[in-house]
Amino acid sequence: MTNDRMSNYREKLSHIVAAGAIGLIFGVGLVISGMTQPGKVIGFLDLTGNWNPALAFVMGGALLISTFTYPLIRRLEHPLLDAHWHVPTSRRITPRLVLGSLMFGAGWGLAGYCPGPAITSLATFNTKPAVFVLAMLAGMAAYHAFEKFFGHRWPGPK
């Protein structure tokens, strides 16, 4: 193995270790925030009933940090462990974006789980988050199949 290949390999391993550590921090944040309690999530969405605004402060707290750090970090020529940025560039508002988000919101309101908290809640080995995650994976697989067979025709670009 040449030096060049070695450094390439190390770079990849560092991505993996970094992503694992970030996942752990994210998971801890989710549990502390209350997002792993579906009753609280539905309480946050329950505008016409007993509205519990607490979870608005999760997004608020996160944005307080990231709206400040994101522009600063993007001033760097490249990220610390990679030669390139991998940030989405599309700015088009499409039917797919809106329709998909509406579907997601409905599912979120139905069970009180979004993807991250559901995965973190698997730690409890309770049935409900496990069933939710399996159904979510099935929904994602269904979307990949949908995209493959019909995606170019309807409902337009990403």
Partner 1 sequence: MNIVWNVQEVLMAGLGGVIIGIAVSLMLLWNGRVTGISGIVGQSLKLVRGDWYWRMAFIVGLFLGGVLMLALSGPERFIDTTDVSMGTTIIAGLLVGFGTLMGSGCTSGHGVCGLSRFSPRSLVATLSFMASGFVLVAILRAAFGEA
Site for partner 1 in 123-142 (CB under 8 A): 123-124, 126-128, 131-142
What's 74's DSSP letter?
T
Asked whether position 26 contacts partner 1 by CB under 8 A, the answer is: yes
Applying CB under 8 A, the site for partner 1 has a residue count of 120
Instruction: Give the x-and-dash track for 4-23 against partner 1 (CB under 8 A).
Output: --------x-xxxxxxxxxx
Kindly tell me which residue out of 6, 9, 28, 156 binds partner 1, with binding defined by CB under 8 A: 28
Does residue 86 bind partner 1 (CB under 8 A)? yes
Q: Which residues from 39-68 bind partner 1, rule CB under 8 A?
A: 39-40, 42-43, 45-67
Residue 151: CB minimum distance to partner 1, A = 9
Q: Choose between 6 and 25: whose C-beta lies nearer to partner 1.
A: 25
Residues 39 and 31: their CA atoms lie apart, in Å, by 14
Q: Which is nearer to partner 1, 6 or 26 (CB)?
A: 26
Distance, C-alpha 156 to centroid of its chain: 23
Which is nearer to partner 1, 1 or 76 (by Cβ)? 76
Distance in angstroms (rounded) separating the CA atoms of residues 37 and 121: 9
Is the previous residue joined to 155 through a cis bond, with omega within 30 degrees of 0? Answer: yes
Q: Does 106 bind partner 1 (CB under 8 A)?
A: yes
- d(CA 60, CA 33) in angstroms, rounded, equals 11
Could you give the CA distance from residue 11 to residue 70 in angstroms, rounded to a whole number? Answer: 22
Sign of CA dihedral 6, 11, 12, 16: positive
